């Protein structure tokens, strides 16, 4: 069975469709032994989720759910930080306010443009992808996160717009991102959400995973990015297939921001 699902949203995210308890029940029904709840903490003023996360109420409900499932399901306290390199002080303050097990770092905005809006893709593909990866390099250089979310999420909207995507065109900057991750011990979130939308891609795919392994990277987590219970662990068979094809052997578990590798 799958070891965990480390990227899940509850209705403490503005776009979440399920309570923490409903997500836990679905994970148990699917036989997943460990999950992490990773609601959005977004501060970009243009973001639809900006200011939505309520840390005190979240902690109360999270603690209640964790107790309710004790002995049946391990529930990790995660958070999905948007642009943590830009909102460093706010993100670090949040991480100090509660004993989180891990922090995902996510790049959804490049400057004042969100990469889920087709407007971002009015420019040539190389420019759209290049700007995204350069910003991702700046974000990972700062560190302060445990897991890098959905590496090349820009393709979710970009690939259908341009009709293709070849990470080899951006190999140099992608390798710079991977180097930052390895140096800071940041794991890669092998995110299956793209397999449920029009881009039909795992983010990152096997090519990037292979570069990561060649460079000495070992830390990978599995994430469905489920905003509703049905999507928990969706397409994890394909994620594990990609992991193995890239020559990676472990999945990384987190507790109190300490990583532990288990063989897959």
Per CB under 5 A, residues contacting Zn ion are: 80, 106, 225
- The sign one gets for the Cα dihedral 176, 177, 178, 180 is positive
Give the Cα separation of 235 and 233 in Å (integer): 6
Q: Closest CB to Zn ion among 153 and 209?
A: 153
Question: d(Cα 144, Cα 80) in Å, to the nearest integer?
Answer: 12
Nearer to Zn ion, 148 or 242 (CB): 148
Closest to Zn ion by CB, 106 vs 192, is 106
Q: Shortest approach of Zn ion to residue 189 CB, angstroms?
A: 9
d(CA 32, CA 108): 28
Q: Which residue is at the shortest CB distance from Zn ion?
A: 106
Using CA atoms, how far apart are residues 250 and 257, in angstroms rounded to an integer? 17
Give me the least distance between CB of 15 and Zn ion, in Å please: 9
**Please, what is the minimum distance in Å from the beta carbon of residue 106 to Zn ion?**
4
- Min dist CB 228 to Zn ion, Å, is 12
What is the DSSP secondary structure assignment for residue 129, as one 8-state letter?
H
Minimum CB separation from Zn ion for residue 42, in Å?
9
Q: Which residues pair with 203 in a beta bridge?
A: 191
> Smallest gap, in angstroms, from Cβ of residue 71 to Zn ion?
28
- Is 106 or 252 the residue whose CB approaches Zn ion more closely? 106
CA distance 96 to 83: 18
CB of 63 to Zn ion, least distance (A): 22
> Taking the CA of residue 246 as centre, how many other CA atoms within 13 Å lie in the half-sphere pointing to its CB?
28
- Strands (DSSP E) contained in the chain are 5-8, 34-41, 74-82, 102-106, 109-110, 113-114, 147-148, 187-191, 220-223, 250-255, 258-263
Q: Which is nearer to Zn ion, 13 or 180 (CB)?
A: 13
The pair phi, psi for residue 100, each rounded to 5°, is -65, 145
Are 251 and 33 a contacting pair, CB within 8 Å?
A: no
Picking from 145, 212, 129, 146, the residue whose alpha carbon sits closest to that of residue 177 is: 212
Phi, psi of 39 (to 5 degrees): -75, 160
| Smaller CB separation from Zn ion, 80 or 146 | 80
Q: Which is nearer to Zn ion, 14 or 176 (CB)?
A: 14
For residue 170, the minimal CB distance to Zn ion (Å) is: 20
């Amino acid at each position: 069975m799958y070891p965990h699902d480390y990227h899940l949203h509850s209705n403490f995210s503005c776009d979440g469709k399920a309570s923490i308890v409903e997500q836990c029940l679905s994970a148990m029904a699917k036989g997943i032994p460990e999950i992490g709840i990773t609601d959005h903490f977004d501060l970009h003023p243009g973001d639809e989720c900006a200011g939505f996360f309520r840390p005190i109420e979240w902690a109360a409900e999270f603690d209640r759910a964790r107790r309710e499932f004790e002995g049946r399901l391990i529930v990790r306290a995660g958070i999905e930080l948007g642009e943590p390199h830009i909102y460093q002080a706010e993100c670090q303050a949040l991480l100090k306010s509660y004993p989180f097990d891990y922090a995902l770092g996510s790049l959804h905005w490049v400057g004042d443009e969100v990469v889920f809006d087709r407007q971002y893709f009015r420019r040539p593909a190389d420019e759209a992808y290049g700007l995204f990866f350069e910003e991702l390099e700046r974000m990972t250089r700062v560190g302060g996160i445990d897991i890098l979310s959905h590496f090349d999420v820009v393709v979710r909207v970009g690939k259908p717009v341009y009709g293709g995507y070849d990470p080899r065109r951006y190999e140099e900057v992608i390798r710079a991102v991977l180097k930052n991750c390895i140096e800071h011990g940041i794991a890669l979130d092998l995110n299956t959400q793209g397999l449920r939308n029009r881009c039909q891609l795992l983010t990152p795919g096997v090519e990037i995973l292979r570069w990561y392994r060649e460079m000495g990277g070992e830390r990978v987590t599995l994430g469905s990015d489920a905003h509703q219970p049905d999507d928990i662990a969706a397409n994890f068979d394909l994620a594990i297939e990609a992991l193995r094809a890239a020559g990676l052997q472990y999945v990384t578990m987190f507790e109190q921001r300490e990583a532990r590798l288990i063989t897959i």
